[in-house]
Amino acid sequence: MAIWLLFALLTAGFLPTAFGQAASPAIITDLVVRDPNGNDVSSEPLVAGGEYTVTFSIAIGATLVDRILLTTNLERTRDVFWTLESNYDGVDLNTWTPGSPAIDFEARSGTADFTLTGRIPEFITEKFWDENGRTIHAIQRFQLLIVSLDSNKEILDLREASITDQIIIRYGNLLQEKRTILDSVQMDPQYAALARSILAESEGLTAAGYYDAAITLLESIPSSGFPTPPVVTNIFLGSTLGLAAISVILVLLFLRANRGKGFISRRVEDEAKKLDLLLVKATRVDKALSTEIETIKRELQNLVE
């Protein structure tokens, strides 16, 4: 629950940023973001690699004597980034460079209406690759539009967006699907408890950025044909417990690369406790399987010795 509360906070649309001024001499107003189908996605996270069209206005006060610098971190997909949509004397259409990610113009009292078109960088959510070649995914904050003074680069206003990607979206949809199934379908209590343990393990993987492995783990829970113990449940236990153990090891590999041994040891203890819970459930169904889980637990603890 805590992880998805954090996800909700990170994916909360576009946020203005305050810079401590009582009244900025130039502010962004009426910003709307649309996807290639024309849908308004201003309050939604944007997708890495996606192309977007942004319409907005810059309201400029009468006291400002400077040039305005308008900047975007989008990538260019057409001949130009910027289109001036209103008559505004501060922009000299003979000298401005709309094909550049940064344009400047004279600050004159009034409102300038613009359209900005570009693409979110494709790999912005892929932070790095671990030592085993796996991709780490993470939601990112992205500066879509920045208004600053040309003279000293002081930022007057900006708009940021949360950026997700198709893998993160797929995981979120799959997690919701599996939760809905477990909440709505009658099944053996032992199976349901084990399946919910798998959901929790998948969330632990995404906390470390291993969304691909988390998806594999969730896919081990079928969408129908739920088993009745003991025979079929044993088959499910054999497959999903192996995936659960792999998920724990992946998290620890991530931690080993980024944290001290003391921290890793504490995480090993935490993850071993999770396997203890699975061990109790498996013991009720299959003694041989519970012995195998105990072996996995010992191997896990040996990772940090």
| Residue 64 DSSP SS3 | coil
Per domain, the residue ranges of the chain are: 2-164, 168-302
pLDDT at 24: 60
- Pairing status of strand 15-16 against strand 67-71: unpaired
Q: What is the CA radius of gyration of the chain?
A: 26
pLDDT at 44: 95
pLDDT at 19: 44
pLDDT at 281: 56
Within 10 angstroms of residue 296's Cβ, the number of other Cβ atoms is 20
Contact 129, 53 (CB under 8 A): no
pLDDT at 12: 44
pLDDT at 3: 43
What is the C-alpha to C-alpha distance for residues 34 and 26, in angstroms, rounded to an integer?
24
| CATH fit for domain 2-164, picks 2.60.40, 3.30.1490, 1.10.150, 3.40.50 | 2.60.40
What is the C-alpha to C-alpha distance for residues 295 and 279, in angstroms, rounded to an integer?
11
Q: CA angle at residue 189 from 187 to 191, to 5 degrees?
A: 75
Backbone angles phi, psi at 45, to 5 degrees: -65, 145
Q: CA angle at residue 115 from 120 to 42, to 5 degrees?
A: 55
What is the C-alpha to C-alpha distance for residues 161 and 173, in angstroms, rounded to an integer?
21
pLDDT at 87: 93
Contact 13, 161 (CB under 8 A): yes
233-242 burial: b if 16+ Cβ within 10 Å, else e: bbebbeebbe
Mean pLDDT, 10 residues at a time, the chain of 305 residues: 41 45 75 97 97 97 90 97 95 95 95 97 84 82 96 94 97 95 82 85 89 89 67 49 53 48 54 61 56 61 53
